[in-house]
Amino acid sequence: MSDSDDSNNPAEMQRTVARLHETFRSGLTRPLRWRRAQLDAMERMLRDHGVRLAEAVHEDFGKPVAETMLMEIKLVLDEIQFVRPRLSRWAARRPQPMPWLLWPARSWTVAEPKGVVLVISPWNYPVLLSLEPMVDAIAAGNCVCLKPSELSPATSRLLARLVPRYLDARAFAVVEGGAAETGALLEQPFDHIFYTGGGRVGRIVMEAAAKRLTPVTLELGGKSPVFVDGTDDLDVAARRIAWGRFVNAGQTCVAPDYVLTTPDIADDLARRIARAARFMFGDSASAPQSSSYARIISDRHYDRLMALLPHPDVPSSAAHVVCGGFGDRAQRYIAPTVLTHVSADAPVMREEIFGPILPVLEIADAASAVAFINARPKPLACYVFSRRAATRRLFERETSSGALGFDLPLGHLLSNRLPFGGVGASGMGSYHGHAGFLEFSHVKAVTAKPTFPDTLSLVYPPYTRRTRTL
Q: Residue 468 CB, nearest distance to ligand NAD (Å)?
A: 52
CA distance 331 to 296: 8
Q: From 191-199, 229-237, 263-271, 284-292, give the range in contact with ligand NAD by CB under 6 A.
A: 191-199
Q: Residue 132 CB, nearest distance to ligand NAD (Å)?
A: 9
CB 416 within 8 A of CB 75: no
CA angle 370, 372, 377 (to 5 degrees): 100
Alpha carbon dihedral 365, 366, 370, 371, in 10-degree steps, equals: -30
Taking CB under 6 A as the criterion, the residue among 133, 141, 197, 433 binding ligand NAD is 197
Active site residue 253: yes
CB 339 within 8 A of CB 318: no
Q: Which is nearer to ligand NAD, 57 or 87 (CB)?
A: 57
CA distance 212 to 188: 9
The interface mask with ligand NAD, positions 55-94, x = CB under 6 A, is ----------------------------------------
Q: Residue 17 CB, nearest distance to ligand NAD (Å)?
A: 16
Q: How many CB atoms lie within 10 A of CB 356?
A: 28
Taking CB under 6 A as the criterion, the residue among 38, 68, 130, 149 binding ligand NAD is 149
The answer to the question of residue 433 lying near ligand NAD (CB under 6 A) is: no
Q: What strands lie across the sheet with 143-147, from one edge to the other?
A: 172-174, 143-147, 116-120, 192-196, 216-219, 427-428
The answer to the question of residue 173 lying near ligand NAD (CB under 6 A) is: no
CA distance 153 to 314: 37
Q: Which is nearer to ligand NAD, 71 or 234 (CB)?
A: 71
Q: Which is nearer to ligand NAD, 220 or 319 (CB)?
A: 220
Q: Residue 256 CB, nearest distance to ligand NAD (Å)?
A: 12
Q: From 143-151, 232-240, 329-337, 343-351, give the range in contact with ligand NAD by CB under 6 A.
A: 143-151
Taking CB under 6 A as the criterion, the residue among 10, 153, 178, 424 binding ligand NAD is 178
The interface mask with ligand NAD, positions 390-429, x = CB under 6 A, is --------------------------------x----x--
What pairing do the DSSP bridges indicate for beta strands 427-428 and 216-219? antiparallel
CA atoms within 13 A on the CB side of 174: 28
Q: Which is nearer to ligand NAD, 311 or 417 (CB)?
A: 417
Taking CB under 6 A as the criterion, the residue among 129, 346, 373, 403 binding ligand NAD is 129
The interface mask with ligand NAD, positions 252-291, x = CB under 6 A, is -x--------------------------------------
CA distance 303 to 288: 17
Handedness of CA 215, 219, 222, 227 (dihedral sign): positive
Q: Residue 250 CB, nearest distance to ligand NAD (Å)?
A: 11
The answer to the question of residue 366 lying near ligand NAD (CB under 6 A) is: no
CB 277 within 8 A of CB 271: no
Active site residue 219: yes
Q: Residue 68 CB, nearest distance to ligand NAD (Å)?
A: 14
Q: Which is nearer to ligand NAD, 122 or 324 (CB)?
A: 122
363 forms beta bridges with none
Catalytic residue among 79, 181, 219, 352: 219
Q: From 37-45, 76-84, 197-205, 275-283, give the range in contact with ligand NAD by CB under 6 A.
A: 197-205
Taking CB under 6 A as the criterion, the residue among 227, 354, 372, 440 binding ligand NAD is 354
362 forms beta bridges with 261
The interface mask with ligand NAD, positions 214-233, x = CB under 6 A, is -----xxx------------
The answer to the question of residue 122 lying near ligand NAD (CB under 6 A) is: yes
The answer to the question of residue 120 lying near ligand NAD (CB under 6 A) is: yes
Q: From 114-122, 230-238, 311-319, 323-331, give the range in contact with ligand NAD by CB under 6 A.
A: 114-122
Q: From 12-20, 145-153, 165-173, 363-371, give the range in contact with ligand NAD by CB under 6 A.
A: 145-153
Closest CA to 199 of 429, 425, 403: 425
- Burial degree of 34 (CB within 10 A; 0-12, 13-18, 19+): middle
Catalytic residue among 79, 132, 181, 253: 253
Question: Annotated active-site positions, please?
Answer: 219, 253
- The binding site for ligand NAD (CB under 6 A) comprises 120-124, 129, 147, 149-151, 178-179, 182-183, 196-198, 201, 204, 219-221, 253, 352, 354, 380, 422, 427
